[in-house]
């Protein structure tokens, strides 16, 4: 009995040892079959199933990599070769599966190096921020003239900059004032004589003034404040940390001495307003310092001053790539990739169009106003390159990687490779394959949305031309906490996935949509009727989502100042808006708070309400290059003389320009907090179509 059990144990051990060894796919007769595999943005699980059906061999992968997306563009190659190259491109391996067939898995060496790199990214962020702060301190000691000279010196040696010089280069661009132009009464453009300041100017000067003890607090995610009237825990805003001109005091000055032809211009104060401040925080998911500028400027004439509270949010990107060069995983991929010169020599400079099959159709992604047909994912570009060069290409694929392909570049492989090399490690394999691995795949892999979520929405949008608010609510409810935080922090950058439906409205209103996704059908029905839903009727999860949607990423402006803000300070709604993903040119704002009271009677307790808005039409001019030149508004079928002449002149100046119209459907999601503060989200969907120039309004005859 014992001997029999021992034999079984030995046999199982030998079987496990065999299964743990990398498999030699070349030895499998079923995988000798030559085949064509043309898959783009395909989840690994589905890609292997399709190849397995063609070969009759069961192909699986570990659950951890089942949703990873791959791009495989191979014509008439042996199946074993395709599968082996797929593993090489991703640094995975094959082994036999106990149920038969083969399993694609992540080797321990690869897994451990990836885990170490994830941890190393945190250290790289800290080091990169410290280098940037040190560079800002050095630049702050220079005069404006010295800064300009140093910037030109570094420009000349830009390709050979050290880590310290690279950080100084970034700081210099943010710490040199702008020189705006203005138009004189005679129509000439001249310098205003007043410097203007980018919003990063104040941020860099605050970083330079940051005490050493506060740097670690910033790295650890704490919010750091600077203010002209700092309370306890907030630092004094440096005098040289000037906010942009529109956030400082301004007054009108007269330029013309003729009383009959009075001409004036705005003059900006050379110092910050009495109430001015800056919030800083390190993004936890991105290599960036998020910031909010706060100011209460005084505008207008001395006898009729007005002031409004301005807030502006954005982020300062930090390059951590140089600080990861020393890590094993980075060194592996750098050594794995073919050097740039050899890569270029492996492909011809020009190719002729294929006659055996047309070029693969390129997806029509919805980006902003939908007028940028040259934008694409790197997987789209790899597909076009494979078609044009007839080279087998395999790599990973992400919708989050945004690139572009000009019409004439398809037949110029070296130009395309140069663009791809900015996003990917590229390897020209000795067997003729081009393998691609994205340089930030560890981050993209965590935040990429599954195709099972996106493809049904794309299909619906293609068939119907619209999605609904409910479609976005369902999608928001599927997002992981990491994805929500990524899109929330990344709203200052282009971090939306390339989809064939509008994705920006989801990012703009994500906290509110996620709250709506937590509601029950009965609660949703109550909101759909236009009624207020009281906070006290929400469960604990819904109350947490309510708090996330009604709150902000930064503390209230009042916490920056030791004195109360003046009672006559009113919010500036345009500055409070999330303009990055708001169709603001249409007259909408994605997010605003402290909005005026609605004409209806609002509840005297925390609550939320959802209201549908009337569909609107927004005409605009689309340039011959595919960019919006000008929006104009009309509520009638006629235009007044000024608008009509302006539109006609724009069209005459650009013969390829055309008139378009945006049809807008919107909802307002409004929250009232316990303190009585209101926060509104404007969720707007759009559809574009060609338009015609309305008639000129008939002139009224003089009596």
Task: State the average pLDDT over residues 639-649.
Answer: 76
Q: What is the pLDDT of residue 434?
A: 97
Higher pLDDT, 123 or 69: 69
Query: Of 492, 479, 560, 491, whose CA–CA distance to 518 is shortest?
Result: 479
User: Alpha carbon of 700 to those of 593, 641, 681: distances in Å?
Assistant: 43, 12, 42
> Is residue 228 pLDDT above 50, yes or no?
yes
- The per-residue b/e assignment along 513-526, b for 16 or more CB within 10 angstroms, e otherwise, is bbbbbbbeeebeeb
Q: What is the pLDDT of residue 76?
A: 95
Q: What is the pLDDT of residue 195?
A: 76
> Torsions phi, psi of 246, nearest 5?
-75, -5
DSSP 9: H
Residue owning tokens 């080279």: 391
Chain segment 308-364, per-residue pLDDT in tens: 888 888 899 888 888 888 788 889 999 999 999 999 999 999 999 888 888 899 898
Q: What is the pLDDT of residue 579?
A: 34
CA–CA separation, 490 vs 14, rounded Å? 50
Strands 59-61 and 102-105: parallel
Structural domains in the chain?
A: 17-106+337-448 (3.55.50.60), 115-178+192-252+268-322 (no CATH), 453-696 (no CATH)
Task: State the average pLDDT over residues 434-449.
Answer: 94
CA dihedral 579, 584, 587, 589 (to 10 degrees): -30
Q: What is the pLDDT of residue 420?
A: 94
pLDDT class of 10 with cuts at 50, 70, 90: very low
CA–CA separation, 511 vs 484, rounded Å? 8
Q: Are 62 and 106 in contact (CB under 8 A)?
A: yes
From 40-44, 173-177, 262-266, the region with the lowest mean pLDDT: 262-266
Chain segment 403-429, per-residue pLDDT in tens: 888 877 888 999 999 999 999 999 999
> Is residue 193 pLDDT above 70, yes or no?
no
Q: What is the pLDDT of residue 190?
A: 65
Q: What is the pLDDT of residue 131?
A: 93
DSSP 362: P
> Is residue 697 pLDDT above 70, yes or no?
no
Beta bridge partners of 289: 282, 316
CA–CA separation, 91 vs 109, rounded Å? 10
Q: What is the pLDDT of residue 690?
A: 84
Q: What is the pLDDT of residue 56?
A: 94
Q: What is the pLDDT of residue 260?
A: 52
Q: What is the pLDDT of residue 549?
A: 94
Q: Are 401 and 444 in contact (CB under 8 A)?
A: yes
User: Alpha carbon of 682 to those of 97, 143, 453, 548: distances in Å?
Assistant: 52, 45, 24, 16
Q: What is the pLDDT of residue 11?
A: 40
Q: What is the pLDDT of residue 6?
A: 46
Q: What is the pLDDT of residue 578?
A: 36
Q: What is the pLDDT of residue 250?
A: 84
From 252-266, 404-418, 453-467, 509-523, the region with the lowest mean pLDDT: 252-266
Chain segment 24-57, per-residue pLDDT in tens: 899 999 999 999 999 999 999 999 999 999 999 9
CA–CA separation, 280 vs 218, rounded Å? 8
> Is residue 4 pLDDT above 60, yes or no?
no
Tally the residues of the chain.
Answer: 703
DSSP 261: T
Q: Residue 183 CB: number of other CB atoms within 10 A?
A: 10
> Is residue 72 pLDDT above 50, yes or no?
yes
> Is residue 589 pLDDT above 50, yes or no?
no
CA–CA separation, 365 vs 373, rounded Å? 7
CA–CA separation, 81 vs 693, rounded Å? 59
Q: What is the pLDDT of residue 519?
A: 97
CA–CA separation, 662 vs 650, rounded Å? 18
Higher pLDDT, 76 or 192: 76
Burial class of 393 by CB neighbour count within 10 A (0 to 12, 13 to 18, 19+): buried
pLDDT class of 431 with cuts at 50, 70, 90: very high
The fraction of the chain above a pLDDT of 90, given in percent, is 51
The percent of the chain in helix, strand and coil, each rounded to the nearest 5, is 40, 25, 35
pTM score:
0.86
> Is residue 229 pLDDT above 90, yes or no?
yes
Chain segment 85-127, per-residue pLDDT in tens: 999 999 999 999 988 899 999 999 999 999 998 888 888 888 9
Q: What is the pLDDT of residue 406?
A: 83
Task: State the average pLDDT over residues 274-287.
Answer: 90
Q: What is the pLDDT of residue 582?
A: 38
Task: State the average pLDDT over residues 625-633.
Answer: 66
3-state secondary structure 102-120: EEEECCHHHHHHHHHHHHH
Q: What is the pLDDT of residue 44?
A: 98
Q: Are 469 and 681 in contact (CB under 8 A)?
A: no
Mean pLDDT of the chain, nearest integer = 85
> Is residue 18 pLDDT above 60, yes or no?
no
DSSP for 137-166 reads HHHHTS-HHHHHHHHHHHHHTGGG--HHHH
Query: Of 382, 411, 377, whose CA–CA distance to 394 is shortest?
Result: 382
DSSP for 435-452 reads EEEETTHHHHHHHPPPHH
Radius of gyration of the chain (CA): 29
CA–CA separation, 116 vs 110, rounded Å? 10
Residues 6 or more apart whose Cβ sits within 8 Å of residue 447: 285, 400, 482, 483, 486, 487
Q: What is the pLDDT of residue 601?
A: 65
pLDDT class of 2 with cuts at 50, 70, 90: very low
Task: State the average pLDDT over residues 154-173.
Answer: 87
Task: State the average pLDDT over residues 271-299.
Answer: 91
pLDDT class of 13 with cuts at 50, 70, 90: very low
> Is residue 583 pLDDT above 70, yes or no?
no
> Is residue 703 pLDDT above 80, yes or no?
no
> Is residue 635 pLDDT above 90, yes or no?
no
Q: Are 561 and 229 in contact (CB under 8 A)?
A: yes
User: Alpha carbon of 316 to those of 211, 502, 584: distances in Å?
Assistant: 19, 26, 23
Strands 69-78 and 224-227: unpaired
From 525-529, 551-555, 572-576, 590-594, the region with the lowest mean pLDDT: 572-576
> Is residue 17 pLDDT above 60, yes or no?
no
- In degrees, rounded to 5, the angle at the alpha carbon of residue 124 between the alpha carbons of residues 119 and 128 is 160
């Amino acid at each position: 009995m014992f001997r029999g059990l021992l034999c079984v144990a030995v046999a199982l051990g030998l079987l496990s040892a065999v299964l743990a060894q990398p498999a030699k796919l070349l030895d499998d007769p079923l995988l000798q079959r030559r085949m064509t595999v043309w898959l783009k943005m395909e989840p690994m699980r589905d890609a292997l199933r399709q190849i397995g059906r063609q070969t009759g061999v069961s192909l699986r992968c570990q659950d951890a990599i089942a949703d990873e997306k791959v791009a495989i563009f191979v014509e008439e190659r042996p199946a074993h070769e395709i599968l082996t190259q797929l593993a090489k491109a991703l640094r995975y391996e094959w082994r036999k599966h106990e149920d038969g067939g083969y399993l694609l898995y992540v080797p321990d060496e690869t897994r451990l190096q990836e885990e170490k790199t994830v941890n190393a990214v945190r250290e790289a962020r800290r080091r990169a921020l410290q280098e940037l702060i040190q560079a800002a301190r050095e630049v702050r000691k220079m005069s404006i003239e010295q800064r300009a000279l140093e910037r030109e010196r570094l420009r000349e040696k830009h390709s050979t900059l050290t880590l310290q010089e690279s950080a100084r280069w970034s700081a210099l661009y943010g710490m040199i004032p702008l020189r705006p132009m203005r138009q004189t009464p005679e129509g000439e453009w001249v310098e205003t004589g007043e410097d203007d300041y980018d919003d990063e100017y104040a941020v860099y000067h605050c970083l330079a003034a940051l005490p050493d003890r506060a740097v670690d607090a910033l790295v650890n995610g704490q919010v750091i404040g600077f203010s002209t009237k700092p309370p306890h825990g907030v630092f004094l805003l440096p005098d040289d940390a000037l906010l942009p001109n529109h956030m400082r005091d301004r007054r009108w000055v007269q330029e013309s001495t003729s009383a009959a032809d009075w001409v004036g211009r705005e003059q900006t104060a050379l110092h910050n307003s009495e109430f001015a401040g800056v919030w800083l925080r390190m993004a936890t998911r991105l290599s960036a310092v998020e910031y909010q500028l706060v100011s209460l400027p005084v505008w207008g004439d001395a006898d009729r001053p007005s002031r409004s509270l301005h807030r502006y949010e954005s982020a300062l990107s930090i390059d951590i790539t140089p600080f990861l060069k020393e890590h094993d995983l980075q060194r592996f991929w750098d050594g794995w990739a073919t050097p740039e010169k050899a890569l270029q020599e492996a492909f011809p400079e020009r190719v002729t169009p294929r006659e055996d099959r047309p070029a693969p159709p390129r997806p029509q992604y919805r980006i902003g106003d939908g007028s940028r047909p040259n934008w694409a994912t790197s997987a789209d570009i790899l597909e076009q390159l494979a078609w044009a060069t007839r080279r087998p290409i395999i790599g990973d694929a992400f919708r989050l990687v945004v690139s572009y392909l000009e019409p004439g570049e398809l037949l110029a492989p070296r130009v395309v490779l140069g663009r791809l090399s900015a996003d990917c490690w590229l390897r020209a394999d000795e067997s003729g394959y081009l393998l691609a691995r994205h340089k930030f795949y560890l981050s993209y892999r965590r935040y990429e949305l599954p195709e099972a979520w996106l493809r049904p929405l794309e299909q619906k949008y293609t068939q119907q031309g619209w999605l609904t608010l409910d479609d976005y609510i369902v999608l928001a409810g599927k997002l992981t906490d990491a994805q929500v935080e990524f899109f929330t922090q990344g709203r200052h950058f282009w971090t939306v996935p390339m989809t064939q439906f509008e994705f920006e409205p989801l990012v703009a209103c994500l906290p509110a949509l996620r709250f709506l996704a937590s509601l029950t059908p009965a609660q949703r029905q109550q909101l759909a009727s236009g009624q207020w839903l009281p906070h006290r009727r929400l469960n604990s999860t819904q109350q947490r989502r309510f708090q996330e949607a009604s709150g902000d990423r930064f503390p209230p402006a009042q916490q920056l100042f030791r004195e109360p803000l003046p009672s006559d300070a009113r919010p500036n709604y345009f500055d409070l808006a999330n303009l990055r993903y708001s169709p603001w040119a249409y007259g909408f704002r994605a997010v605003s708070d402290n909005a005026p009271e609605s004409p209806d009677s609002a509840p005297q307790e925390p609550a939320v309400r959802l209201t549908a808005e009337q569909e609107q039409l927004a005409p605009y001019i689309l340039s011959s290059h595919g960019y919006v030149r000008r929006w104009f508004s009309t509520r009638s079928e006629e235009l007044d003389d000024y608008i009509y002449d302006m539109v006609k002149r724009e069209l005459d100046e650009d013969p390829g320009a055309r008139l378009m119209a945006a049809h807008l459907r919107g909802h307002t999601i409004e929250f009232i907090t316990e303190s009585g503060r209101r926060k509104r989200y404007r969720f707007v969907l759009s559809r574009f179509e060609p338009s015609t120039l309305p008639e000129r309004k008939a002139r009224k005859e003089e009596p």
